[in-house]
C-alpha cells in the first residue's frame, strides 16, 4: 500500500484535532456545559478542513501571485486591531462580533510565511533579499507587539530567522540579526517586570506556582492517565486548561503514553512537511514554504510543550491543532492547505 505525503499530512491533522477535542472536553468536564467549547471547536474543525481542501485545490502559482496582496490584507487586519479589536486578558488581539471572535495573527501566519517566501526569492542580490525580508518581518512584529502579543511575535521572528538560515543566506546576515535581537530580548526582559518575574520563577521552579501546577497536572496523569473527562487538577488549578495549558491537560487525561502518541503525531507531521521541503523536484518557493510551515508548527509546538512540562518559562502560546481556538485551527488548516498545494508545484 502506497502512503502519500498528502495522506500523512491530512491524517495527522485530523488525528491531532481529535486529541484537541478530547483535551477540551476534559478541561470542561466539571463545568456547567461541558460540550459547549467542544461543539464550537468541532465547527472550527469543519471550517479548517474545508479551508485546507480549498487551499490545496488551488494552484500554488495563485498563492505566489497573490502573496503580497494576501499578506497585505492580513497585515492591515492586524494593524487595525488596536482600533477595532477587543481586549481579552490584557491583549487586544481579537475582532469580536457577538459570540464569534477572530484572532487575525493566527490566521495570518500562513500569509506572512507566503509573503516572506516570495520576498526571499524575488531578488537575486543577497543583501536585497535579506533587507526586504527583515523589513517585512519587522513590520509584522511591530504590528503584533502593539497588541501586545510577545509569544506570537517571537514565532514570526523565529520563522524569519530559520528561513534566512535554510534559504542559504550567508552567516553574516544571520549573525547580524541574532546579535541585535538577543540585545533587544535582554532589554525587553529588564524593562518588563512580568517577563523578568517569569524568568526568575523559571530559574527557581520551587517558587513558581504556575510551573508547579503544570508539572502536577502531567504527573497526575501517570502512564495511562485519569479517566476521560476526569482531569481533576487541570480543571481546578491550571489557567486556561483548554488553551495555554492544553498539553498538561491532555497528559493528565490520557497519561504519558497518550501524550507520547501526540508527540509522535507532531513528529510525523513535521517529517512529512520536511520531506516536501527536501524534495528536489519541487520549486524553491514550494520547498521554502513547506520548510517554513514545518518551522511554524515545530517551534510553536515545542514552545507550548516545553512550557507545559516546565522546561521553559511561561509564554502563553497555544498548541497547534490541539488548543481551543477557531482562529488557530483554521489558520493551521490554511497553512497545511497551501503546503498541499505547494506539493503539486513541481520544477519545470
Q: In Å, what is the CA distance from 327 to each residue of 17, 105, 241, 324?
A: 13, 8, 18, 9
CA dist 56 and 51 (Å) reads 8
DSSP state of 239: S
What is the rounded (10 degree) CA torsion for 258, 261, 266, 272? -160
- Does 270 bind another protein (CB under 8 A)? Our answer is yes
Dihedral pair phi/psi, residue 179, rounded to 5°: -65, -55
3-state secondary structure of 34: coil
- Does 32 bind another protein (CB under 8 A)? Our answer is yes
Q: In Å, what is the CA distance from 6 to each residue of 21, 52, 252?
A: 23, 11, 32
- Does 180 bind another protein (CB under 8 A)? Our answer is no
| Closer Cβ to another protein, 67 or 120, answer by number | 120
Q: Which stretch binds another protein (CB under 8 A): 20-28, 108-116, 124-132, 290-298?
A: 290-298
φ/ψ region of 222 (left if φ > 0, alpha if ψ in -120 to 50, else beta) reads left
| Closer Cβ to another protein, 218 or 327, answer by number | 218
Q: Nearest Cα to 108, choosing from 331, 337, 298?
A: 331
Nearest distance, CB of residue 77 and another protein, angstroms: 29
- Does 284 bind another protein (CB under 8 A)? Our answer is yes
Q: In Å, what is the CA distance from 214 to each residue of 29, 252, 274, 287?
A: 18, 10, 31, 37
3-state secondary structure of 113: helix
Nearest distance, CB of residue 24 and another protein, angstroms: 18
Nearest distance, CB of residue 43 and another protein, angstroms: 25
Nearest distance, CB of residue 122 and another protein, angstroms: 15
| Closer Cβ to another protein, 152 or 167, answer by number | 167
Q: Pick from 155, 220, 300, 342 the residue near another protein by CB under 8 A.
A: 220
- Does 147 bind another protein (CB under 8 A)? Our answer is no
CB-CB neighbours of 99 under 10 Å: 6
- Does 216 bind another protein (CB under 8 A)? Our answer is yes
- Does 221 bind another protein (CB under 8 A)? Our answer is yes
- Does 266 bind another protein (CB under 8 A)? Our answer is yes
- Does 318 bind another protein (CB under 8 A)? Our answer is no
- Does 331 bind another protein (CB under 8 A)? Our answer is no
Per CB under 8 A, contacts with another protein among 184-213 are 212-213
- Does 232 bind another protein (CB under 8 A)? Our answer is yes
- Does 268 bind another protein (CB under 8 A)? Our answer is no
Please name the helix (run of DSSP H) or strand (run of DSSP E) that holds residue 217, with its range, or none: helix 209-221
Task: Tell me the torsion sign for CA atoms 282, 300, 164, 136.
Answer: positive
**Strand residues in the chain grouped as ranges (E):** 86-88, 91-97, 100-102
| Closer Cβ to another protein, 187 or 278, answer by number | 278
Q: Pick from 2, 168, 191, 348 the residue near another protein by CB under 8 A.
A: 168
Q: Which stretch binds another protein (CB under 8 A): 10-18, 72-80, 256-264, 314-322?
A: 256-264
- Does 138 bind another protein (CB under 8 A)? Our answer is no
Bridge-based pairing of strands 100-102 and 91-97 is antiparallel
User: What residue ranges bind another protein (CB under 8 A)?
Assistant: 30, 32, 162, 165-168, 212-213, 215-216, 218-223, 230, 232-233, 235-237, 251, 255-256, 259-260, 263, 266-267, 270, 274, 277-278, 284, 287-288, 291, 295, 298, 302, 305-306, 309-311
Amino acid at each position: 500500500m502506497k502512503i502519500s505525503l498528502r495522506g500523512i499530512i491530512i491524517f495527522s491533522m485530523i488525528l491531532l484535532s481529535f486529541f484537541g477535542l478530547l483535551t477540551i472536553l476534559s478541561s470542561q468536564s466539571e463545568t456547567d456545559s461541558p460540550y459547549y467549547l467542544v461543539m464550537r471547536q468541532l465547527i472550527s474543525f469543519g471550517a479548517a478542513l474545508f479551508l485546507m481542501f480549498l487551499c490545496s485545490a488551488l494552484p500554488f502559482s495563485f498563492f505566489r501571485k497573490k502573496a503580497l496582496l494576501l499578506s497585505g490584507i492580513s497585515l492591515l487586519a492586524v494593524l487595525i486591531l488596536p482600533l477595532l479589536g477587543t481586549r481579552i486578558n490584557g491583549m487586544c488581539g481579537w475582532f469580536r462580533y457577538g459570540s464569534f471572535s477572530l484572532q487575525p495573527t493566527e490566521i495570518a501566519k500562513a500569509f506572512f510565511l507566503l509573503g516572506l517566501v516570495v520576498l526571499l526569492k524575488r531578488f537575486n542580490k543577497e543583501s536585497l533579499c535579506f533587507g526586504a525580508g527583515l523589513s517585512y518581518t519587522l513590520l509584522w512584529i511591530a504590528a503584533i507587539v502593539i497588541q501586545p502579543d510577545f509569544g506570537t511575535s517571537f514565532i514570526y521572528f523565529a520563522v524569519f530567522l530559520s528561513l534566512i538560515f535554510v534559504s542559504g543566506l550567508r552567516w553574516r546576515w544571520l549573525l547580524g540579526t541574532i546579535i541585535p535581537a538577543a540585545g533587544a530580548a535582554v532589554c525587553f526582559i529588564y524593562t518588563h517586570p512580568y517577563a523578568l518575574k517569569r524568568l526568575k520563577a523559571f530559574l527557581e521552579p520551587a517558587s513558581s506556582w504556575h510551573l508547579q501546577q503544570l508539572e502536577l497536572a502531567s504527573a497526575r496523569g501517570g502512564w495511562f492517565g485519569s479517566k476521560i473527562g476526569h482531569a481533576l487538577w487541570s480543571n481546578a488549578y491550571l489557567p486556561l486548561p483548554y488553551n495555554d495549558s492544553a498539553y498538561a491537560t491532555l497528559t493528565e487525561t490520557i497519561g504519558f503514553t497518550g501524550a507520547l502518541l501526540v508527540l509522535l503525531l507532531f513528529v510525523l507531521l513535521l517529517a512529512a512537511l520536511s520531506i516536501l521541503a527536501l524534495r528536489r523536484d519541487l520549486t524553491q518557493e514550494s520547498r521554502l514554504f513547506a520548510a517554513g510551515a514545518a518551522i511554524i508548527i515545530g517551534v510553536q509546538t515545542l514552545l507550548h510543550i516545553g512550557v507545559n512540562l516546565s522546561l521553559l518559562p511561561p509564554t502563553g502560546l497555544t498548541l497547534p491543532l490541539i488548543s481551543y481556538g477557531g482562529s488557530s485551527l483554521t489558520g493551521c488548516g490554511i497553512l497545511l492547505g497551501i503546503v498541499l498545494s505547494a506539493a503539486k508545484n513541481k520544477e519545470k
